[in-house]
A and B are shown apart, each in its own frame.
Chain A
Amino acid sequence: MRKINLHLGDFTEKSNVKLVPRYYGEALCRLAERNEKIVALCADLAPPTETDLFRDRYPDRFFMMGIAEANMVGVASGMARMGDVPFVHSFCVFLTRRAYDQVAMQVAYPKSNVKLIGFLPGLTTLLGVSHQAIDDIALMRALPNMCVIEPCGPEQIDSAVNAAMDYDGPVYLRLNRAETELSSDTKIKKLDIGKVEITRKGDDLVIFACGIMLRKAESAAQILSESGIETTVVNVHTIKPIDDQKICELVSHCGATITAENHSIIGGLGDAVSKALNEKNISIAVNRVGIKDSFAEGGSTPYLLNKYGLETQDIVNKALKVLKQNIKVSYT
């Protein structure tokens, strides 16, 4: 019988939350120490959004808004209009689908300085379709004035939080919580809004990835390299505004193009890259690895990523198909 990898800390306070590292919660507290304007709002999800740390350290700046996301977003806009910088927390799916009108009218339209912090991106939750944000990038990208950021992992969360704070206007931050501590030699990554990060260079193929898919793209590039295919891997942490200039340069250089995202292939990173290329008259197929226009289901993340085609081997297979290479590769 398959062992399901339960993460009780996602929805219970009294579980092993202390065992789960809280890179976001710590980053927000560090920032709040320097800036009194920062306030935090949460819709009954303090531990899984790591805002219990903020609540305990800055109780007069923490606002528990109950299970009422629409009201929470409006309240945050009111606070921003009074000069505060509200960080608003929930799961990605509830900040986007449930409060979309409020985000559009009270955050995006007036360019309110509100930071929307969503957790459980894509298939990173076992809680099923109700909790799996497979369209949040699409929804947030479509809103004028909205900046959309997805750091590649815990090593980029601190920079993402600081970048969101420094950005004067609405930001949607799509975060995946770390399950284990980073090793002590992990290099902390910078994040410059609107500038991609190239993590590997090669001439045969370029893979644009965001969030958890970056590591999978890097693994795929390593496997391909062993077969003589050299890949450029790009961390597109800012999906909007997207770095169209660099994306066009890299595609012009490499030719074959793949995008990899923990999101529907409709409206997300793949579409954003396509749009960038299209507007510069670069005519090339953008081959998307992501969730193919379908809802998923409840299950462990490894199971879901495998079933819905978001694994390293899916990227490798896509690359071989794009390059018309009939090579057998081994996965170790």
Chain B
Amino acid sequence: MILFRHMDSEKIYLLGKKALAIRKHVVQMVARHGRGYVQQGLGAADLFTVLFFDELRLKIEDPDWPYRDRLILSTAHNSAVFYAVLAEKGLIPLDSLESYCVDGSDLEINVSERLGTMVEATCGSLGQGMSVAIGMGISARRKKISSRFYVILGDGELQEGQTWEAIMSAATWKLSNLCLVVDCNGMQVDGDVEKVMMMEPLGEKFEAFGWNVLTAEGNDINHLLSSFKEAKNCENQPSVILAKTLVGKGVPFLEGQLSHNLIFPADAAKRALEALE
């Protein structure tokens, strides 16, 4: 038991280091352009790290492996953190991050599948990712493929009606191979999600729709690890992890600042990097 604890703490330490490296990439990638999706990237870095470095079954040498788990990024604009984690994982070259948002680059500001298989669907028009994952999940089950299907979507994104169509259908099909992660960062373009539209009580809403509902501290790696494990053990129901994240996490002067498309001049980026050291 002590040994397991030691292994867990070692794993959490290593994942934390990885998340830190990813946060630094996010700052550097956006800093080149003076403006971008810094806040949500820093907020979701732990989530992406746990998914790619612990949860998803992937083959780095064979990205098209048919039995891989799939992650669909429905919030396709949260691209800096996504590319950073792909690069750290070895799915795209580290130096390609320099081409983020450069004209002609595959690393577009909204993630597109022209980058390759690791972008399982092109989203960005919000509300669409979960439906695609449901189709994949139904198809996999019909073929007895044991892959799991993960979707990251935003709490503001749940204002899109299509997400509730999808929520109903996933429960109808009892898709236990589906794990939805709501990045509850409380932020959308026009500010505070709850002020734009009454979303709470989200957990009760999902429960009423027939889902297995888990709530996690989205910046607590240990908590995320146990939530994903719990989701995997659920049978006959899709699972949702409501992951409460803090925008700007890791950079004290940015934490909690609700800015969807942050103006990020060079001196702010420099200070942010220093804070992450």
B121 touches A78 (CB 8 A): yes
- CB pair A82–B135 under 8 Å, yes or no, is yes
Selected from B132, B137, B143, B161, the residue in CB contact (under 8 A) with A74 is: B132
- B131-147 contacts to A, CB under 8 A, are 131-140, 142-143, 145
The digit string for A286-305, where 1 denotes a CB below 8 A from any CB of B, is 00000000000000000000
Total interface residues on A, using CB and 8 Å?
Answer: 29
Chain B 108-149 per-residue mask, 1 if CB under 8 angstroms from chain A, else 0: 000001000000111111011011111111111011010000
B105 interface residue (CB < 8 Å to A)? no
Measured in the bound complex, the distance between the Cα atoms of B143 and A78 in whole Å is 14
Contacts of A75 in B (CB 8 A): 131-132, 134-135, 138, 166, 169
Q: Is B168 an interface residue (CB 8 A)?
A: yes
Known: A102-B128, A102-B162, A105-B128. A74 touches B134 (CB 8 A): yes
A68 within 8 A of B: yes
B113–A78 touching, CB < 8 Å: no
Are A71 and B166 in contact (CB-based, < 8 A)? yes
CB of A74 within 8 A of CB of B139, answer no
Q: Does B165 contact A (CB under 8 A)?
A: yes
Query: Is the beta-carbon distance between B131 and A74 smaller than 8 angstroms?
Result: yes
Known: A68-B165, A74-B131. A79 touches B121 (CB 8 A): no
> Closest residue of chain B to A76, judged by CB?
B135
**Closest chain A residue to B131, Cβ basis:** A74
Contact call A78/B169, Cβ cutoff below 8 A: no
Encoded as 1 (CB less than 8 Å from any B CB) or 0, chain A from 90 to 134 comes to 000000000001100110011000000000000000000000000
Alpha-carbon gap, A304 to B258, bound state (A): 55
Q: Write the chain B residue with the least CB distance to A80.
A: B135
Q: Is the beta-carbon distance between B169 and A102 smaller than 8 angstroms? A: no
A233 touches B (CB below 8 Å): no
- Chain A residues near B138: list those with CB within 8 A: 63, 75, 78-79
The minimal Cβ–Cβ distance linking A24 to chain B, given in whole angstroms, is 23
User: Would A106 and B128 count as touching, CB distance under 8 A?
Assistant: yes
A79 to B139, CA, bound (A): 5
Of A63, A74, A86, the contact of B166 (CB 8 Å cutoff): A74
A39 vs B140: C-alpha distance when bound (angstroms): 13
- Kindly list chain B residues whose C-beta atoms are within 8 Å of the C-beta of A70: 127-128, 131, 161-162, 165
Once the chains are docked, how many angstroms separate the CA of A71 from the CA of B127? Answer: 9
For the complex formed, measure the closest distance between the CB of B251 and the CB atoms of chain A, giving whole angstroms: 33
| Cα distance A61–B140 in the bound complex, in angstroms | 12
Query: Given A78-B132, A102-B128, A109-B122, are A60 and B142 neighbors across the interface (CB < 8 Å)?
Result: yes
Interface, chain B (partner A; CB < 8 A) = 113, 120-125, 127-128, 130-140, 142-143, 145, 161-162, 165-166, 168-169, 172
Chosen A-B contacts, 25 in total, with CB atoms closer than 8 Å, are: A60-B142, A66-B168, A70-B131, A70-B165, A71-B131, A74-B132, A75-B132, A75-B135, A77-B121, A78-B133, A81-B132, A81-B136, A82-B135, A82-B136, A82-B140, A82-B143, A82-B145, A83-B139, A84-B139, A86-B135, A101-B125, A101-B128, A105-B124, A106-B128, A106-B131
Q: Which 10 A-B pairs have the closest CB atoms?
A: A78-B135, A74-B131, A71-B165, A82-B139, A68-B165, A75-B135, A78-B136, A78-B132, A79-B135, A70-B162
With A76-B135, A82-B136, A82-B143 given, can you name 9 additional A-B contacts, CB distance below 8 Å?
A: A66-B169, A71-B134, A75-B131, A81-B135, A86-B135, A102-B162, A106-B122, A106-B131, A110-B113
